[in-house]
C-alpha cells in the first residue's frame, strides 16, 4: 500500500468506528453495567432493553424490554415484576458466571437475578430482534446452547418465536400471567398455561379456578380455539417429545409486529401493529371461541350459544337434577338414560361438531388408527369414549376414562367423538 490509500484507509476506519460508537450496542459484556437511563437496542432496532415506569406509576422502576420504534411504549417483558426499584438507582450487570444481576445501587440490594444452565465460558448478553434477551457463550454459535433467555420467563406477552409449554431438561415452564394493573406488572390472577395431565391442553385460570379450556392440539389447532389455526399472519406448530412439549407461533411476514397478551382483566388477545394508524389492533381473541365458562353444562352436557337455554344433554342422557336444570343450574350435568352393561356388551355412538371434552384423565397414542382405538376402548369397561388424536394426518388414538365434561357445539370446526352407550340405547328407534 502506498501512502495516500493508507491515509484514506485510516480515514474511513475512523468514520466507521465513529458510526459504530453512535449506534447503540445490542450486547452487555461481562462486568459491564447498564444504569437507569442507559439502554441496549437489538441489531435492527426492533426492541430496546432498559428501565421504565409503567402506566401512571412514576415512582417504581422496572427493567424491561419494549418496542424501540413505537411511541406507545409497549412493554413485552419485565425482569423485576414483583420487586420494583423506587428511584433511578437500578443497575444491571452481567457477572462472569453468566448471571445477570439487577441491583439497587442506592440500597445495595439485589433486586433480581437470572439463572444459568450448562457451562459458562465467555458469556455475553444479547438483545435479539425477536425481543429475546439471551445470555450465550461467545464461542458457541449454536443459540440452542444458551445459558439463559428471557423467552423462558414470559411476562404477560407471548411473542412470535417463543415457546408455550415446558422443557423437562432445562426445567422451564412457559406460560403467561397478567399484570395486576396497567401501573403494576406484578403477577395478576390470570394465567394461560399448558396442563400435562393426559393429553396436554391449554387452559386459562383465575387464581385456582379454571376459567377456560382451549383443549388439546388436534394436528391443526387447539380444539377449543379454532380461530387460532394457521392464518395470514402466523402459522402454529406443536412439538411433543421426551424433552419438551410446546406450541409456537411463527410470523408469515416477519416485518409485521405481532403479540399475544393476557390483560389485567383476563382478556386474551392477539395484536397486530398497524403502521397507518400507529396503533395496536386486535386481530384475534381466542376467548371468543370459548366464552363459555369451563364445565358450564356439567358432565355429558353440551353448550350451544346459538340456543336458549344454552345447555343441553347429549342424546341418550337426561339432566341429573331436572329441577335445577330447568332453572339454568346446569353444573350437575347429565346422566345416562340407560345404564352401561359392559358384560352384555356396549357399543359406541358418534357425536359430531363438538369441542372435545377435558382430556386431563385421558390416555393417548400418536400412532394407533381409529379402528385400533375403538378396539382398545371396547375392551376396557372403564373407557367412556374414543376419537382420533390428530385430524390432520387422521392418526392417533385418544381415550377417555372419566365422565365427559366441558363440551360445546361448534357450528364449524367441531370434532367427532365416539361415546360408549348401552346396546339398548343404541337400539332405540324413537326418541
Ligand atoms: C470481571 O470482574 C471480576 C471481579 O472484579 C474480575 O475478576 C474478572 O477478571 C472480570 N472479568 C472480565 C472479563 O473483565
Ligand atoms: C393514567 O391516568 C389517566 C388520568 O387519570 C387515565 O385516563 C389513564 O387511563 C391512566 N393510564 C393508565 C395506563 O393507567
Ligand atoms: C433512593 O431511595 C432510597 C430509599 O427509598 C433513598 O434512601 C435514597 O436516598 C434514594 N436515592 C436517590 C438518589 O434518590
Ligand atoms: C407458570 O410457569 C411458572 C414458571 O415459569 C410456574 O412456576 C407455574 O407453576 C406455571 N403455572 C401454571 C398454571 O402452569
Ligand atoms: C410484508 O409486509 C410488509 C408491510 O406490510 C410489506 O411491505 C411486504 O411486501 C410484506 N412481505 C411479504 C413477503 O408479504
Ligand atoms: C412502517 O412505517 C415506517 C415509517 O413510517 C417504515 O420505516 C416501516 O418499514 C413500516 N413498516 C411496515 C411493516 O410497513
Ligand atoms: C381401566 O381399566 C383397566 C383394566 O381394564 C385398568 O388397567 C386401568 O388402570 C383403568 N384405568 C382407569 C383410568 O381407571
Mean pLDDT along residues 176-188 = 98
Give the distance (Å) from ligand 7 centre to CA of residue 380: 7
What whole-number distance in Å separates Cα of residue 234 and Cα of residue 230?
6
Most informative mutation of 358, 380, 404 for ligand 7 (most atoms within 8 A of CB): 380
What is the model's pLDDT at position 17?
Answer: 47
Query: Could you give the residue range(s) of every CATH 2.90.10.10 domain in the chain?
Result: 21-151
pLDDT bucket at 19, cuts 50 / 70 / 90? very low
**Closest ligand, as measured to the CA of 252:** 5
Determine the distance separating the centroid of ligand 2 and the alpha carbon of 403, expressed in angstroms.
Answer: 47
State the distance from the centre of ligand 6 to the C-alpha of 276, rounded, in angstroms.
9
d(Cα 127, Cα 137) in Å, to the nearest integer? 14
What stretches of 105-183 adopt beta strand conformation (E)? Answer: 109-113, 123-127, 133-137, 148-149, 157-158, 163-167, 172-174, 176-181
Q: Whose CA is nearest to atom 4 of ligand 4?
A: 173
The topology (CATH level 3) of 21-151 is Agglutinin, subunit A (2.90.10)
For the Cβ of 89 lying below 6 angstroms from any atom of ligand 3, the answer is yes
- φ and ψ at 245, to 5 degrees? -130, 120
Rounded to an integer, what distance in angstroms lies between the CA atom of residue 176 and that of residue 134?
19
Residue tagged 337426561 (cell numbers): 318
Q: Show the 3-state SS of 49-101.
A: EEEECCCCCCCCEEEEEEECCCCCCCEEEECCCCCCECCCCEEEEECCCCCEE
Mean pLDDT of 208-222: 95
Give the pLDDT confidence of 220-253 residue by residue, as tens digits.
999 988 888 888 999 999 999 999 999 999 999 9
Whether the CB-CB separation of 388 and 396 falls below 8 Å is answered with yes
| Ligand that lies nearest to the alpha carbon of residue 84, given by its number in the listed order | 3
* pLDDT over 60 at 207, yes or no: yes
Q: Provide CATH code, domain 154-288.
A: 2.90.10
Q: Is residue 226 reached through a cis peptide bond, with omega within 30 degrees of 0 on the bond before it?
A: no
Say yes or no: CB of residue 56 within 6 Å of ligand 2.
yes
- Pair 167, 149: CB distance under 8 Å: no
Spell out the residues 6+ positions from residue 230 whose beta carbon is closer than 8 angstroms to its own: 220, 236
Look at the pTM and tell me if it is higher than 0.85: yes
The pLDDT of residue 263 is above 70: yes
Task: Report the distance separating Cα 174 and Cα 162, nearest Å.
Answer: 9
Protein residue closest via CA to atom 10 of ligand 2: 56
109: left (phi over 0), alpha (psi -120 to 50) or beta: beta
Amino acid at each position: 500500500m502506498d501512502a495516500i490509500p493508507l491515509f484514506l484507509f485510516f480515514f474511513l476506519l475512523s468514520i466507521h468506528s465513529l458510526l459504530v460508537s453512535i449506534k447503540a450496542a445490542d450486547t452487555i459484556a461481562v462486568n459491564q453495567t447498564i444504569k437507569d437511563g442507559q439502554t441496549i437496542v437489538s441489531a435492527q432496532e426492533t426492541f430496546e432493553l432498559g428501565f421504565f415506569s409503567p402506566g401512571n406509576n412514576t415512582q417504581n422502576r422496572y427493567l424491561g424490554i419494549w418496542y424501540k420504534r413505537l411511541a406507545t411504549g409497549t412493554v413485552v417483558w419485565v425482569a423485576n415484576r414483583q420487586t420494583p426499584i423506587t428511584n433511578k438507582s437500578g443497575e444491571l450487570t452481567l457477572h462472569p458466571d453468566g448471571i445477570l444481576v439487577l441491583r439497587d445501587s442506592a440500597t445495595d440490594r439485589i433486586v433480581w437475578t437470572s439463572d444459568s444452565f450448562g457451562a459458562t465460558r465467555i458469556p455475553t448478553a444479547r438483545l435479539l430482534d425477536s425481543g429475546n434477551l439471551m445470555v450465550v457463550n461467545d464461542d458457541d454459535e449454536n443459540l440452542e446452547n444458551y445459558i439463559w433467555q428471557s423467552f423462558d420467563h414470559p411476562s404477560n406477552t407471548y411473542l412470535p418465536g417463543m415457546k408455550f409449554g415446558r422443557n423437562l431438561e432445562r426445567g422451564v415452564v412457559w406460560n403467561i400471567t397478567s399484570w395486576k394493573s396497567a401501573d403494576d406488572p406484578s403477577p395478576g390472577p390470570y394465567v394461560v398455561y399448558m396442563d400435562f395431565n393426559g393429553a396436554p391442553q391449554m387452559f386459562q385460570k383465575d387464581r385456582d379456578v379454571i376459567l377456560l379450556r382451549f383443549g388439546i392440539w388436534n394436528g391443526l389447532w387447539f380444539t377449543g380455539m379454532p380461530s387460532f389455526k394457521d392464518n395470514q399472519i402466523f402459522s402454529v406448530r406443536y412439538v411433543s417429545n421426551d424433552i419438551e412439549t410446546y406450541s409456537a407461533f411463527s410470523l408469515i411476514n416477519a416485518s409485521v409486529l405481532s403479540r399475544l397478551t393476557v390483560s389485567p382483566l383476563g382478556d386474551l388477545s392477539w395484536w397486530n401493529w398497524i403502521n397507518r394508524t400507529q396503533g395496536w389492533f386486535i386481530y384475534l381473541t381466542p376467548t371468543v371461541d370459548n366464552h363459555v365458562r369451563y364445565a358450564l353444562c356439567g358432565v355429558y352436557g353440551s353448550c350451544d350459544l346459538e340456543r336458549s337455554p344454552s345447555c343441553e344433554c347429549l342424546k341418550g342422557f337426561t339432566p341429573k337434577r331436572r329441577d335445577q336444570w330447568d332453572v339454568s343450574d346446569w353444573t350437575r350435568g347429565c346422566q345416562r338414560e340407560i345404564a352401561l352393561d359392559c358384560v352384555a356388551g356396549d357399543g359406541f355412538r358418534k357425536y359430531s361438531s363438538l369441542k372435545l371434552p377435558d382430556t386431563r384423565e385421558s390416555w393417548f397414542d400418536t400412532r394407533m388408527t381409529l379402528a385400533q382405538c375403538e378396539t382398545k376402548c371396547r375392551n376396557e369397561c372403564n373407557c367412556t369414549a374414543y376419537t382420533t388424536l390428530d385430524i390432520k394426518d387422521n392418526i392417533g388414538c385418544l381415550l377417555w376414562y372419566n365422565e365427559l365434561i366441558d363440551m360445546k357445539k361448534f357450528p364449524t370446526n367441531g370434532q367427532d367423538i365416539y361415546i360408549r352407550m348401552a346396546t339398548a340405547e343404541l337400539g332405540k328407534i324413537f326418541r
